[in-house]
Amino acid sequence: MRVNNVKKIWAEGGAVVNGWLGIPSSVSAEVMTHAGFDSVTVDLQHGLVDYQASVSMLQAISTLDVTPMVRVPWNDPIPIMKALDAGAYGIVCPMINNREETEKFVGACRYFPQGYRSYGPARAAMYAGGDYASEANDNLITMAMIETLESLGNLDEIMSTKGLDAIYVGPADLSISLGHPPSADPTIPEVVEAMDTILAAAKRNGVVAGSHCASGDMAKRLFKKGFQFCTIANDSRLLAQKAAEEISAARG
């Protein structure tokens, strides 16, 4: 099976810089893939991407040895299994609140006996190789999003769930859950402390901690704290920021 480079980087103690795709375009997916990210995630939750567009985007990511991942719209076996069958090497699942929901998520990503995923890797077998069926359970990434008040009260039961590889902080929803305005780079002490608490729980339970980040600077700060997976904004945000920067330079 084709190596999952994200897992390889983690096993070596490294940190992953992840790209994020919300524009439904195989061309922009290819551009982001060639930018130098370790992995690139297609966003089916808040991005403008439908399933058919996501398949073309996963094909574009395959032009380089960059790990393809998908954030599914919800903890539902159907989009999870379809994303995996399309060739996703990791699934980011939003709004995980407790062990029961974590088990449902992880089970959808694993073949029997570790889970209940149905067999039919339409594109995945072409991308990953002929031994996909026997190797997928050990090589695909399950990443549960921690972003609610309920999940903060259940960190150990979530992160000790067998088969969970990593957690992913959604800073904006986490901020809202704690009664504050949404922020991609929180500075309110309560939210910052909550992120530190999540990181400590991840370390305690032997899972990787990841987070969405507003910028490369934020990612660098989180890497120093011990996070090992950070996303830098998303494709549309990076496009808008660079355009605004160049327009400002042109107008002096």
**What are the residue numbers of the active site?**
46
Q: Which two tokens stand for residue 52?
A: 């058919």
Q: Which two tokens stand for residue 217?
A: 């600077």
The DSSP element (H or E) to which 232 belongs, if any, is strand 229-232
SS3 call for 173: helix
At residue 39, φ and ψ (nearest 5 deg) are: -145, 160
Alpha carbon separation from 29 to 135, 217, 232 (Å, rounded):
27, 23, 15
Beta bridge partners of 91: 70, 142
Query: What DSSP designation does 1 have?
Result: -
Q: Which two tokens stand for residue 42?
A: 């297609």
